């Protein structure tokens, strides 16, 4: 493991008042491009420089991540610390950063997020007495300089869905330390994919300990879509395996599901599509088409970029087939997990 201080001397504005010190934790893995955007936006925060530090934890990236951090540190009014460690999942990375930080407040974001200059000040202001956690909106965006292809990763939390994603979350240090940080049992699958769920787990342990948890729609980060290798995209639905476990342990999460049982609206429409396959095989073709139509309509936005380009018409059915494969993997994953954890999620 390697830790390097990338701190540079800059003037510290006065008038700090009663504002607490803040550590911003940014775990990353092979995201040098969007990480540069993240650090630029963090460096533009209107919080007093003497009260902020940024800790970047690199999970052994193979790209030029360290160079990006060094360039950002040279221009930032805030000290930036770079830590490089083995990959053991985001929970371990965040705990690693917390142990090497000093802030009274710990703000978490991801290395593909951007935010307004008042993000830190707004998040801190919402940590009122008795509140241990503040989470905010995660808006999906496309960076025009890195528009993703069909195989991409994107997240969105535009309402209180009881997940409290660490792409946009603020904790009091004493709360995190009291609860022992993130549960590193939410690690990675054997092939390296994060299991996920550690952010939701810590949020609900915070609430169970008697601290308030606030979802603030006005606290916004923008999450950039990023390309994935095709095989990673096809396997990504496996990450939903953790959800029935979370719903079993925290029944309140069910209120954030679509109609309380479905992962999402578009996945709910996949089940009639399965029925359409059965109807087609039994000769009921009209019924099959009617059953398939809601899912096809729900997925149409994913193929719109090809519509109107005669040279690429063939991609439209291919994309629908790929989306059907992805939903099939998701269905098998979530049903298997529902059985294992004896909690129905569809």
DSSP assignment of 167-207 equals TEEEEEHHHHHHTTSS-TTS-B-TTS-B---HHHHHHHHHH
CA distance 179 to 22: 19
Q: How far is CA 323 from CA 73, 116, 129, 292, in A?
A: 41, 34, 46, 13
Q: Which of helix, strand or coil describes residue 226? A: strand
**Phi, psi (5° rounding) for residue 116?**
-75, 160
**Phi, psi (5° rounding) for residue 7?**
-85, 140
Q: Which domains does the chain have, with CATH numbers?
A: 2-228 (3.90.550.10), 230-346 (no CATH)
CA distance 176 to 174: 6
Q: What is the pLDDT of residue 190?
A: 80
Q: What is the pLDDT of residue 301?
A: 76
- Largest alpha-carbon pair distance within the chain? 77
Q: What is the pLDDT of residue 1?
A: 41
Bridge partners, 26 (sequence order): 56
Between the two ends of the chain, the Cα-to-Cα distance in Å is: 41
The H or E element containing residue 55 is strand 52-58
Residue 87: closest CA among 74, 96, 78, 99: 96
Residue 305: closest CA among 317, 316, 318, 294: 316
Q: What is the pLDDT of residue 87?
A: 74
Q: What is the pLDDT of residue 121?
A: 97
Q: Look at the alpha carbons of 221, 248, 323, 153 in this order and tell me if their dihedral is positive or negative.
A: positive
DSSP count for the chain of H helices, then E strands: 12, 11
Residue 92: closest CA among 167, 174, 143, 25: 25
DSSP assignment of 290-303 equals HHHHHHHHHHGGGT
Q: What is the pLDDT of residue 6?
A: 41
CB 165 within 8 A of CB 198: no
Q: What is the pLDDT of residue 194?
A: 84
Q: Which of helix, strand or coil describes residue 135? A: strand
The model carries a pTM of 0.89
CB 98 within 8 A of CB 171: no
The single-letter DSSP state of residue 1 is -
CA distance 167 to 27: 10
**305: which residues sit within 8 A by CB, 6+ positions away?**
none
pLDDT in tens, the chain (346 residues): 444 344 433 332 233 458 999 999 999 888 888 999 999 999 999 999 999 999 999 887 878 888 999 999 999 999 999 988 877 788 999 999 999 999 999 999 999 999 999 999 999 999 999 999 999 999 998 888 888 888 888 889 988 888 899 999 999 999 999 999 999 988 888 877 888 899 999 999 999 999 999 999 999 999 998 888 999 999 999 999 999 999 999 999 999 999 999 999 989 999 999 999 999 999 999 999 999 999 998 888 776 665 555 556 677 888 889 999 999 999 999 999 999 999 999 9
HEC letters along 227-277: ECCHHHHHHHHHHHHHHHHHHHHCHHHHHHCECCCECCHHHHCHHHHHHHH
């Amino acid at each position: 493991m390697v830790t390097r201080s990338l701190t540079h001397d800059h003037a510290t504005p006065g008038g700090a008042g009663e504002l607490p010190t803040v550590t911003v934790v940014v775990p990353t893995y092979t995201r040098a491009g969007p990480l540069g955007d993240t650090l630029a936006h963090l460096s533009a925060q209107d919080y007093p420089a003497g009260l902020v530090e940024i800790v970047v934890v690199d999970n052994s990236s193979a790209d030029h991540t360290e160079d990006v951090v060094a360039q950002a540190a040279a221009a930032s009014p805030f000290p930036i610390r770079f830590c490089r460690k083995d990959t053991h999942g985001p929970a371990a990375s965040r705990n690693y950063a917390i142990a090497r930080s000093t802030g009274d407040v710990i703000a978490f974001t991801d290395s593909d997020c951007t935010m307004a200059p008042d993000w830190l000040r707004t998040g801190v202001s919402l940590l009122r007495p008795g509140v241990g956690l503040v989470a905010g909106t995660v808006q999906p965006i496309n960076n025009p300089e890195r528009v993703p292809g069909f195989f991409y990763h994107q997240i969105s939390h535009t309402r209180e869905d009881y997940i409290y994603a660490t792409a946009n979350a603020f904790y009091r240090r004493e709360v995190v330390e009291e609860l022992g940080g993130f549960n590193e049992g939410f690690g990675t699958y054997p092939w390296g994919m994060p299991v996920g769920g550690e952010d939701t787990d810590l949020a609900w342990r915070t609430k169970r300990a008697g601290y308030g948890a606030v979802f603030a729609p006005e606290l916004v980060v923008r999450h950039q879509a990023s390309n994935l290798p095709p095989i990673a995209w096809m396997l990504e639905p496996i990450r939903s395996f953790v959800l029935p476990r979370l719903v079993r342990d925290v029944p309140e999460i069910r209120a954030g599901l679509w109609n309380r049982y479905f992962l999402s609206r578009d996945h709910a429409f996949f089940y009639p599509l399965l029925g359409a396959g059965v109807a087609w095989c039994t000769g009921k073709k009209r019924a099959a088409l009617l059953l398939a139509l809601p899912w096809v309509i729900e997925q149409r936005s994913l193929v719109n970029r090809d519509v109107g380009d005669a040279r690429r018409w063939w991609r439209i059915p291919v994309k629908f087939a790929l989306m059907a494969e992805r939903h099939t993997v998701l269905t098998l994953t979530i049903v298997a997990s529902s059985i294992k954890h004896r909690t129905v999620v569809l």
